[in-house]
Structure 1
Amino acid sequence: MATIRDVARRAHVSTATVSYVLNGTGVVSEATRERVLAAIAELGYQPNHSARSLRTRSRTIGVVAPGIAGRLADPATAEIIAGLSEAATTAGYCLLLAAPTDTESETELAVRLARSGRVDGLVLFDLQIEDDRPALLTAARVATIAIGAPVAGVTCPIVGCDLRTGAEQATQHLIRLGHRRIALLAAPSYLSISEPFYAGYSAALHAAGLRREAALVIEAGSSEDDGMVAMQELLAARTPPTAVLAASDMLAFGAMHAIRDVGLTVGRDISVVGCDDLPLAAHTFPPLTTLRAPRRDLGATLARYLIAHIEQRPAPPVTLLPLRLVIRHSTAAPSRAVH
């Protein structure tokens, strides 16, 4: 197994310089830093974090996500980060936000941060069905927690929202109003959150004796434009739905635009339900019925359980926070005049 001295010899630097690169301390030129990192990669060197942690911790938790600066403009992400930061600060930890570049992937950056010792733990956004990040970070000996839904084979703690129950409640609301053709704008299937949301929608239809129609389920993306395109496809069908459940408010906003573009009225002609309860949801025309996610609490829970993991205290493997259906004017009984 390679040692820090082996790395220093390979990179033609002192062991102190290797430590500076690993810890992000001291003054090291970019060329020297790249030479040290190359030597670390060639030798497969891994710092002994367990030994180092006996002396000190960085008391920093990290978030690595593509386009993190842009994502902070998204109210949902910003609230999660706010909850993370507040709970971390209360516990005496700092929060480090990092975004990958064109030359380094999100996973590579996360592993590099883990091995550097600059963070004691990492928060993973957008847990996927097939996600190699948790295993790689466990191998790098850093505490890890993920945002999403439970996934087979993922052993790190997971914190998310109870999407199955939320989607079931939202679909039941539409059924009680009298809707029988209810469409679903689903999240991308590679995301862990997609399956439980679909499961809740399906369970409500089944309990009401309604048949699931494949044509009424569209895998959309995550943007408002994605929601608009998906809704246009539904509207072009021979028998359009009378109601739509969207996996996010952004998809719902796009669906509402598409409905208005063909001269129909949201709520009166086609009901729409979203998920998130973004600040804009209460101010759309009409105001959007949606599932409210406790985003700040989610962020705080992530911080508390990750810090418990870092400090080797018990924490639950999966925590799902409840969603709350907020009924506004985008949902109503189906209009017989239109359908």
Structure 2
Amino acid sequence: MATIKDVARRAQVSTATVSYVLNGTGVVSDTTRERVLAAVAELGYQPNYSARALRTRSHTLGVVAPGIAGRLADPATAEILAGLSEAATAAGYCLLIAAPTDSEAEGELDLRLARSGRVDGLVLFDLRVADERPAVLAEARIPAIAIGAPATGVTCPIAGFDLRAGAEQATQHLIRLGHRRIALLATSSDLSISEPFYAGYVAALHAAGLRRDATLVIEAGSSEDDGMAAMQELLAVRTPPTAVLAATDTLAFGAMHALRDSGKVVGQDVSVVGCDDLPLAAHTYPPLTTLRAPRRELGATLARHLISLIERRTVPPVTLLPVRLIVRHSTAAPRAAG
């Protein structure tokens, strides 16, 4: 097995320079950095970061997410971070938040942050299908936990919400009201949470003897504008839906805007259900029926599990917290059934 001295000899630099490159510290020219990284790749050198962490633990948890700096004002993200911070502080740890630049991939920032010695482990937001980040961190022996749903090939523990059960519960609510044409506004299929939400929606339809209509399922995206565009698309189909289940409250807000713009009355002409129960959900017009996700509890769970990994204690591979349907005035029996 190659050592840091072997890398230094191959790159014709000092061991200190190799450390600077691998840890992201010190001042090293681009040419030297490339030479060191080439030597690391050729020799298959793997630094033992976990052993180093045992000697010099920082007692800091790292959070890396795409565009998280712009998401700090998002109530859902802020509440998860609050739960993370509170639980970390209670256990004697701090929280460090970082976001990749346009020129740096998320995986590169994960490794650079861990190698810097500033954090003992990482929380990964927005777990994707076939996400490479957990495997990269596992190979480097860096403790990590991801927010999302179980996904193929993911090698780190996962914590999130039971979205399959939640979507099934929300769809059943609409079916009990008498709706038969129920649309789904889904998040990007690249995200691990997309599949279980879709599966819960389909399971409820099948249990009620209803067929899934592909024209009523739209991969909408994430923004309110995405929700508006998706709802406009649904209103243009030959037989529009009488109810809409949105994978996030933000998409639901956009759908409600589109319905009002088209002259429809939310909760009368078309029922709308969201997912998150953001603070605004109770104050829309009409107030939004939605799935309440315990985000602060999720943050605390992430912190406790990551600290257990850092301290070499066992944690469950998957932890899914239950969501609860909060019924407000955006859902009612369809006009035809009333």
TM range (shorter): over 0.9
> Shift in Å at residue 89 of structure 1?
1.3
Aligned AA (1:42) = A
Whichever residue aligns with residue 233 of structure 1, its letter is: E
Q: How does 1:222-241 map to 2 (within 5 A)?
A: 222-241=222-241
Structure 2: which amino acid aligns with 1:99? A
Farther off after superposition, 226-235 or 112-121: 112-121
2:268 alignment partner, SS class: coil
Inter-CA distance 237–54: structure 2 relative to 1 (3 Å threshold): closer
Distance 1:35 1:97, change over 3 A: farther
* Residue in 2 that maps onto 1:41: 37
For the 8 Å contact 1:18–1:36, the answer to whether it is kept is no
CA distance in 2, matches of 1:19, 1:60: 21
1:113-139 residue CA offsets vs partner (Å, 9 max, x unmatched): 233333211111111111111111101
CA contact (8 A) 1:7 1:36 kept: no
Residue correspondences, number: 334
C-alpha deviation, 1:244, in angstroms: 0.2
Q: Normalized against structure 1, the TM-score is what? A: 0.92
Look up the equivalent residue of 2:37 and give its one-letter code. Answer: A
1:185 partnered with 2:176: no
Q: Partner of 2:301: helix, strand, or coil?
A: helix
- Which letter maps to 1:223? S
What do residues 163-183 of structure 1 show as CA deviations (whole Å, max 9, x unaligned)? 011001101111111111111
Check the 8 A contact 1:197/1:247 in 2, yes or no.
yes
2:203 equivalent in structure 1: 203
Partner residue, 1:276: 276
**Which runs of 5 or more structure 1 residues have no equivalent in the other structure?**
none
Could you tell me how far apart the structure 2 residues matched to 1:61 and 1:38 are? 29
Map of 1:221 onto structure 2: 221
- Residue 115 (structure 1) aligned with residue 111 (structure 2): no
Measure, in 2, the Cα distance between the counterparts of 1:120 and 1:114: 7
Q: How does 1:51-66 map to 2 (within 5 A)?
A: 51-66=51-66
Alignment of 1:77-226 (within 5 A): 77-226=77-226
Q: Which amino acid aligns with 1:138?
A: A
Write the distance in 1 (CA, Å) between the matches of 2:84 and 2:24: 23
Report the Cα distance in structure 2 between the residues aligned to 1:22 and 1:90, rounded to whole angstroms. 32
**1:12: Cα distance to partner?**
7.4
Per-residue deviation, residues 228-263 of structure 1 (Å, max 9, x unmatched)? 111001101111100000000010001001100110
Cα distance in 1 for partners of 2:46, 2:30 equals: 16
Between 157-166 and 16-25, report the one with greater CA deviation. Answer: 16-25
Paired with 2:35 and 2:3, the residues of 1 have a C-alpha distance of: 11
* CA deviation after TM superposition for structure 1 residue 18, in Å: 5.3
Deviation at 1:47? 2.6
| Sequence identity percentage | 78
AA in 1 matched with 2:235: L
* Distance in 2 (alpha carbons) for counterparts of 1:189 and 1:136: 22
Q: CA deviation at 1:62?
A: 0.9
Q: Provide TM-score, normalisation by structure 2.
A: 0.92
Tell me the equivalent position of 2:333.
Answer: 333
> d(CA) in 2 for partners of 1:241 and 1:95?
45
Contact 1:46–1:115 (Cα < 8 Å) also in 2? no
- Per-residue CA deviations over 1:185-236 (Å, capped at 9, x if unaligned) read 1111111111110111111111111111111111110010111111001101
Q: Are the counterparts in 2 of residues 7 and 39 from structure 1 also a CA contact under 8 Å?
A: no
Taking only aligned residues, the RMSD between alpha carbons, in angstroms, comes to: 2.1
For residues 108 and 17 of structure 1, what CA distance do their matches in structure 2 show? Answer: 19
Q: Distance in 2 between matches of 1:58 and 1:18?
A: 22
The 1:97/1:36 distance shift into structure 2, 3 A limit, reads: farther
Q: Which runs of 5+ in 2 are unaligned?
A: none
Does the 8 A contact of 2:50 with 2:142 survive in 1?
no
